[in-house]
């Protein structure tokens, strides 16, 4: 049994402003912490659609929500496919969408998955184990230049070049089969003085490889943009919980694009309806976990929650 603590649970649920007969989407089901609370708040006419690329999460969810199939639908797909799946279900409008990004506690704790730099696990890191690309393939088959790019860009690691060089040098001698081996290679490539601060020396590189394996950032950007047109024009909301700066930047930039007024000609007396923003910020400044939540769950410390609402554009009214 996994011990999984849902991050920013009340803040996210409050932000979605749930109504009993609404249709809601949890794009990252995980172990169902947010979904369970949404399911409690919707009535008999409401419905929750939850998606996850991890088969283990969906299987656990089907056990958890057994008997609630009339109100809860679980689907094993990456959230970049969620909109098309909803349309296949006959859903063309939703009242709220939640993204709780990143790797889940059960995935980190599962010794067969290879997500943790603290264990000795096979180099896998796939959220969807149907896909062919693994961390092992990235480590062994990707060029030095490609490794530098992802470690620098996705891991925001300033020692990307020596780390990539160390991986390249090691793999020429023997295969790198486990997370412990990779972690030691990364550690050896970082100067001793730099290893004393900033947490585990392999943290940023593992994050980078995981993001690359699962194409996380591109998938998120595509899915976030795709859901905006599906939001109920009478106040549908979208909420994003991110755990590192790259996710948060995408959330902020993408949502802000829909929240901004375009540049208008001077003296324009009335803003045309089709030029008004699609969304408005509920909280432009991200909501962060309380000190009490961080004390009880260290994995919550980097969480950031952003919420936006569909502008009420109907019959010329913009509230």
Q: Report pLDDT digits (tens) over 228-260.
A: 999 999 999 999 999 999 999 999 999 999 998
The reported pLDDT for the residue numbered 4 is 56
Question: Which carries the bigger pLDDT value, residue 111 or residue 162?
Answer: 162
Is pLDDT of 21 > 50?
Answer: yes
Which residues lie below 8 Å from residue 126, measured CB to CB, with a gap of 6+? 113, 133, 134, 135, 213, 214
∠ CA 280-286-288, nearest 5°, is 145
pLDDT of 282 over the 90 cut: yes
pLDDT tens-digit series, residues 168-216: 999 999 999 999 999 999 999 999 998 988 789 999 999 999 999 999 9
Query: H or E stretch including 72?
Result: strand 72-75
Confidence of residue 49 (pLDDT cuts 50, 70, 90): very high
Band (281; pLDDT cuts 50, 70, 90): very high
Predicted local distance difference test score (pLDDT) of residue 155:
96
Beta bridge partners of 47: 23
313: confidence class by pLDDT, cuts 50, 70, 90: low
Residue pair 139/172 in contact by the 8 Å Cβ criterion:
no
Q: Name the residue with higher pLDDT: 281 or 107.
A: 281
- Distance separating alpha carbons of residues 23 and 244, to the nearest angstrom: 29
Lowest mean pLDDT among 4-13, 33-42, 227-236, 263-272: 263-272
Tell me which of 63 and 4 has the higher pLDDT: 63
Of 202, 200, 198, nearest to 179 (Cα)? 202
pLDDT at 1 over 60: no
């Amino acid at each position: 049994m996994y011990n999984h603590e849902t991050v920013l649970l009340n803040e996210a649920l409050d932000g979605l402003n749930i109504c009993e007969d609404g249709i809601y989407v949890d794009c990252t089901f995980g172990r169902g912490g947010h979904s369970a609370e949404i399911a409690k708040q919707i009535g008999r006419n409401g419905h929750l659609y939850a998606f996850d690329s991890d088969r283990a999460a969906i299987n656990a969810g089907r056990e958890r929500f057994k008997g609630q199939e009339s109100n809860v639908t679980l689907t094993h797909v990456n959230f970049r496919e969620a909109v098309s799946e909803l349309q296949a279900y006959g859903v063309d409008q939703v009242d709220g969408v939640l993204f709780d990004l990143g790797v889940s506690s059960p995935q980190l704790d599962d010794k067969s998955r290879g997500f943790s730099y603290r264990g000795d696990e096979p180099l896998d890191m796939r959220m969807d184990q149907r896909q062919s690309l693994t961390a092992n393939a990235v480590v062994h088959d990707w060029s030095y230049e490609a490794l530098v790019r992802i470690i620098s860009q996705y891991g925001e690691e300033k020692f990307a070049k020596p780390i990539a060089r160390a991986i390249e040098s090691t793999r020429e001698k023997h295969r790198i089969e486990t997370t412990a081996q990779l972690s030691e290679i990364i550690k050896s490539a970082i100067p001793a003085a730099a290893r004393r601060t900033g947490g585990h020396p392999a943290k940023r590189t593992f994050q980078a490889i995981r993001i690359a394996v699962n194409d996380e950032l591109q998938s998120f950007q595509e899915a976030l943009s795709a859901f905006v047109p599906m939001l109920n024009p009478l106040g549908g909301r979208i909420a994003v919980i991110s755990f590192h700066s790259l996710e948060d930047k995408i959330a902020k930039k993408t949502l802000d694009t829909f929240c901004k007024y375009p540049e208008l000609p001077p003296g324009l007396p009335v803003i045309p309806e089709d030029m008004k923003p699609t969304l408005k910020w509920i909280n432009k400044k991200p909501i962060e976990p309380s000190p009490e939540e961080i004390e009880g769950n260290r994995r919550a410390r980097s969480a950031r929650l952003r919420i936006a609402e569909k502008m009420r554009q109907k019959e010329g009214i913009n509230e």
